[in-house]
Amino acid sequence: MSNIPSQSTMIIGHRLLTASKSIGLPKLRWRRCLGIVIYTMKYHPEQISAILQGEEKPRIKPSASYTILNLDPQQQFSGIDQKSLAKLVKEKDVGRLLHLGGVERIALSLDTDPESGIGKVTNSDDDNNDDDDEVARRQHAFGANTYTKPQCRSLFSFVWEAFKDPTILILVFCAALSLGFGIQENGIKQGWYDGGSIFVAVFLVISVSALSNYGQSRQFDKLSKESSNVKVDVVRRGCRKFISIFDVVVGDVIWLNIGNQVPADGLLVEGHSLQADESSMTGESDHVEIDSTHNPFLISGTKVVDGYGRMMVTAVGMNTSWGELMSSASRDSAEQTPLQVRLNTLTSAIGKLGMAVASLVLVVLFVRYFTGNTQDDNGNTEFVRGSTTTSEILKAVVNIVAAAVTIVVVAIPEGLPLAVTLTLAYSMKKMMADQAMVRKLSACETMGSATTICTDKTGTLTLNEMKVTKFYLGHEPMAGKISSIVTSVTELIKEGIANNTTGDVQRPSLQADYVFSGSPTEKALLSWAVMELSMDMQEIKQNSTLLHVDAFNSKKKRSGVLVRSNTDSADHAHWKGAAEMILSMCSHYYIASGEVRDLDNEARKTFEQIIQSMAAGSLRCIAFGHKKIEHNAQESDDQPELREEGLTLLGMVGLKDPCRPGVKKAVESCQNAGVNIKMITGDNIFTAKAIATECGILRMGFDDQDGAVILGSEFRSYTPQQRLEKVNKICVMARSSPMDKLLMVECLKQKGHVVAVTGDGTNDAPALKQADIGLSMGIQGTEVAKESSDIVILDDNFSSVETVLCWGRGVYNNIQKFIQFQLTVNIAALVINFVAAVSAGDVPLTAVQLLWVNLIMDTLGALALATEKPTKELMDKKPVGRTEPLITNIMWRNIAAQAAYQVAVLLILQFKGESMFRVDTAVKDTLLFNTFVLCQVFNEFNARKLEKKNVFKGIHRNKLFLAIIGITIVLQVVMVEFLKRFAGTERLNWEQWGVCLGLASASWPIGWIVKCIPVPERPISSYLQSIKRTLSKGATALGFSSS
């Protein structure tokens, strides 16, 4: 059997099994039979050889309850039963895996190379097309890496939700009764108008509300899909590339690093110190060790918390446990933000007031009607005891109830939650275009209240484009003198860089450029080693065996490997990391000639000065350490030891990471907005100071003694009280750990700050969760960090953080604008209806007219005011913080002035309108209705600017606002001039329209004058609380205490 070449066997077997049916059934059967024999020879050569040589008798074994090999030529990847393969990983059955021949045999069945991934390694330009064909073939055979989502809520469900509102149901009931009485009294041609009009108005209100909520739901679903589109580091055709998680297929080889999400179920191909957090699947908080021997199983949806490695995908999408879980999990887009909760409280309070007013109106109207104090359109008394019919009484009662319920509809500001939803959805969409993806709605509004931002340095304030600019060997800079270094030393440096890395070097062809992968630091070191030291990474790896890996993390700030040279019996420990960390592990150092010298105190001080000088030049300092360990054949190889002491310093490099363009301006903008910027970095304190000064976080010539710059270890050593005393002064924290960042956040929150934190590492997750707003990095951020955050900064740029801050303030400001607008309408409508009902026994605005006003202020008003873009003026104000009331003194001043004017004008029209304009009651009521609506239109302009007198500034940029104002005016003209029977209005002449417009436009000069009146900074609510406390003390002093 050994004489048959493996490759030829596979080709012959494949051709025989896939023979065309056109050759005839008998020949087809013989060819398939021979193909099965050849496949058997390939997969079980030892058993076949033993049988042929007479060493073993053939015997039939009972079939197992599962199948992995299935030689059905009608299916692609016919040798794989994907259900059994998926079950293998789900159940973590090591015994079954060994029975199947291990990871290598499964990789062979999946036509996958554990090193180069799927697809053949070629230098062809058509690799992308070949990739697409290969991916399509595997998706057809095993499915795509997507899951069946729960069905989204339909438009009808939103309609039904709006319809179930109690006030709407009462209005529909009243409309039905009114329709019945109208048809009975006046016939179907004339009698349907009153009831039908209310039906149409209710339908409009429900439709607009449902459509708005449905649109926002679709928007949130779209953003949610975007947030789950994780990028995965995959190997295909021998090249590493980043692809969407949705494009991962069975057979793909995936690189996993700390913080990565496992994109699909699979088996570990190779790993070092790999640990996974499986709490999302099992609920167990303990981290699970992943290794090739005891537990090579990786579950989709889990997170890598330590180490790194490669996995081979065995199941995707709905064949994974994660897919099954996500398909059954419903996505709730109706998340209640803190502001919405506060607004619901406000809505409830206003609603109770509206209910009280409506109840009083109902009682007054009933009393007036049944005591004979109301008259119909002809001046006749409506209720006469003994002569008024039951149907007439019921009709009057229905009209009274409808009027009272409509007052409640107008009084309850349903538009407040809608306004929040609209402004959040609008802001989320615009922020996405500004490189910020919102994962939690509450972050939009909370960011507007932020008082402190704790930011990382690398990649956020800097470009994260590392480049080696300095190299020291011993105490000498080696710029331009690489050739003078003895070969043995450069070989050790290259060996350390090639083996102690999570990056990779690829060169598709001799004519092509090198391609470097990994983190920016890894890419910079690999690039330097290849270009300056002529490192051949593949050759170095082939000449050594990796024995042990101590992976890098942000706490240790170093990584190490133990390798065995294939040319001698020695083991070599290689370490790299923060220069002062590696220096503390060294007892000797190399010089360019290859001589090894003792690292005494004087030499150590010289190295420390070199590190400080590079750090002061904004360079990140990385050092390399090495120790040769003679291998004793009698010693056990089970537990190779990676030494951490007695190293020899190979050299140090300085990596330049320039500041981002515009970051200084963004920092100054945040500082001018009253927001403190604190830089928390793991870098050297001198590097941190240099970058902070360059970015504007530290002022030039600052005093080191004022506590502005501190080490993480020093901050950690303080008592809780000392931390609280010093935390406000700190601007820069260097050499900090993730726990130091968490301590900082906790202290700031205890001091009353609203804290935003940026983070990119897995260990940043606690701080991101603890902060009021967690900002993760979209490029360098791990999936753990992103899932712990509220907003993902897609370009890792601090300028985008400033943009998020501005949008957050815009959200809060837009909500305040709408509250001011809506409360003005609420107060005016309630007062005019109550006064008219008590004094005249009738409400001047019909149910249909009030529903139209409700539509204007709730939906159209929310659309107009909630979609204003943030202005630069918002960044000139102090942050709101935690304690600022939602309705400020400035807002109360504006509301009081506009509401008082509207009430005064409407009451004059109600009681003197007929005599002043010499019109009948119907025209007077139309004048009142028209003036009331136009007052709201003009007041919408006032609401655009809470403090500024020029309410028209920038209005040309808000086309939606202008469109809504135009639509409102057009519809109002239609209501008055063309829908007499529907709206209960009379046509107005040009003079009367001019009067209405004149009265309404007076709100503009009134708004201008009112804004000249200063208001106290102390909130009105605090005065009320002081009065309440004073009264309580007085009552206690007089002996009226509750005790």
Spatial separation of the C-alpha atoms in residues 523 and 748, rounded to whole Å: 36
Tell me whether residue 456 is one of the annotated catalytic residues.
yes
Catalytic choice (233, 277, 456, 796) = 456
Q: Using CB atoms within 10 Å of the CB of residue 387, give its burial: 0 to 12 exposed, 13 to 18 middle, 19+ buried.
A: exposed
- Give Cβ neighbours of residue 717 (< 8 Å, ≥ 6 apart): none
Q: Assign residue 60 a region: left if phi > 0, alpha if psi is -120 to 50, beta otherwise?
A: beta
What six digits make up the tokens of 736? 């900090």
Amino acid 481: pLDDT? 86
Amino acid 576: pLDDT? 94
> Which phi and psi (to 5°) does residue 688 adopt?
-60, -45
Spatial separation of the C-alpha atoms in residues 1031 and 267, rounded to whole Å: 72
Amino acid 373: pLDDT? 76
Amino acid 312: pLDDT? 94
Residue 930 near residue 999, CB atoms below 8 Å = no
User: What are the CA-CA distances from residue 231 to residues 226, 325, 779, 816 (Å)?
Assistant: 11, 21, 9, 39
Spatial separation of the C-alpha atoms in residues 180 and 178, rounded to whole Å: 5
- Give Cβ neighbours of residue 526 (< 8 Å, ≥ 6 apart): 497, 501, 503, 504, 505, 516, 518, 535, 537
Amino acid 21: pLDDT? 45
| Beta-carbon count within 10 A of 458 CB | 22
Amino acid 472: pLDDT? 95
Residue 118 near residue 134, CB atoms below 8 Å = yes
Amino acid 168: pLDDT? 73
Spatial separation of the C-alpha atoms in residues 118 and 107, rounded to whole Å: 10
Q: Could you tell me how far CA 760 lies from the centroid of its own chain?
A: 14
- pTM for this prediction: 0.71
- What burial letters (b/e) apply to 11-25, b meaning 16+ CB within 10 Å? ebbeebbebeeeeee
Q: Where are the alpha helices (DSSP H) in 143-165?
A: 155-163
Q: Where are the alpha helices (DSSP H) in 673-797?
A: 685-695, 712-717, 720-726, 738-750, 765-770, 783-788
Question: Residue 175 in 3-state DSSP?
Answer: helix
Amino acid 24: pLDDT? 52
Question: Residue 437 in 3-state DSSP?
Answer: strand
Amino acid 184: pLDDT? 64
- Give Cβ neighbours of residue 215 (< 8 Å, ≥ 6 apart): 425
Amino acid 148: pLDDT? 72
Spatial separation of the C-alpha atoms in residues 608 and 601, rounded to whole Å: 10
User: What are the CA-CA distances from residue 591 to residues 588, 653, 844 (Å)?
Assistant: 10, 14, 97
Instruction: Please give the average pLDDT of every successive group of 10 residues along the chain, which has 1043 residues.
Output: 46 50 53 60 56 50 44 52 83 86 87 87 61 85 80 80 74 73 68 70 75 72 71 88 90 89 91 83 76 89 86 90 66 54 72 80 84 74 79 79 71 68 78 84 82 88 88 90 90 94 84 85 93 91 88 82 84 92 94 93 94 90 91 55 88 91 90 92 88 87 73 91 92 88 92 88 81 86 81 87 90 88 86 78 74 75 83 86 80 93 92 89 90 93 90 88 91 88 86 94 94 83 68 66 43
Radius of gyration for the chain, computed over Cα atoms and rounded to the nearest angstrom: 38
Spatial separation of the C-alpha atoms in residues 27 and 33, rounded to whole Å: 10
Nearest to 685 by CA among 649, 736, 722, 730: 736
User: What are the CA-CA distances from residue 485 to residues 473, 573, 599, 609, 651 (Å)?
Assistant: 9, 21, 19, 23, 11
* Residue found by looking up tokens 């604008």 in the block: 817
Measured at the CA of 243, the angle between CA 237 and CA 248, to 5 degrees, comes to 80
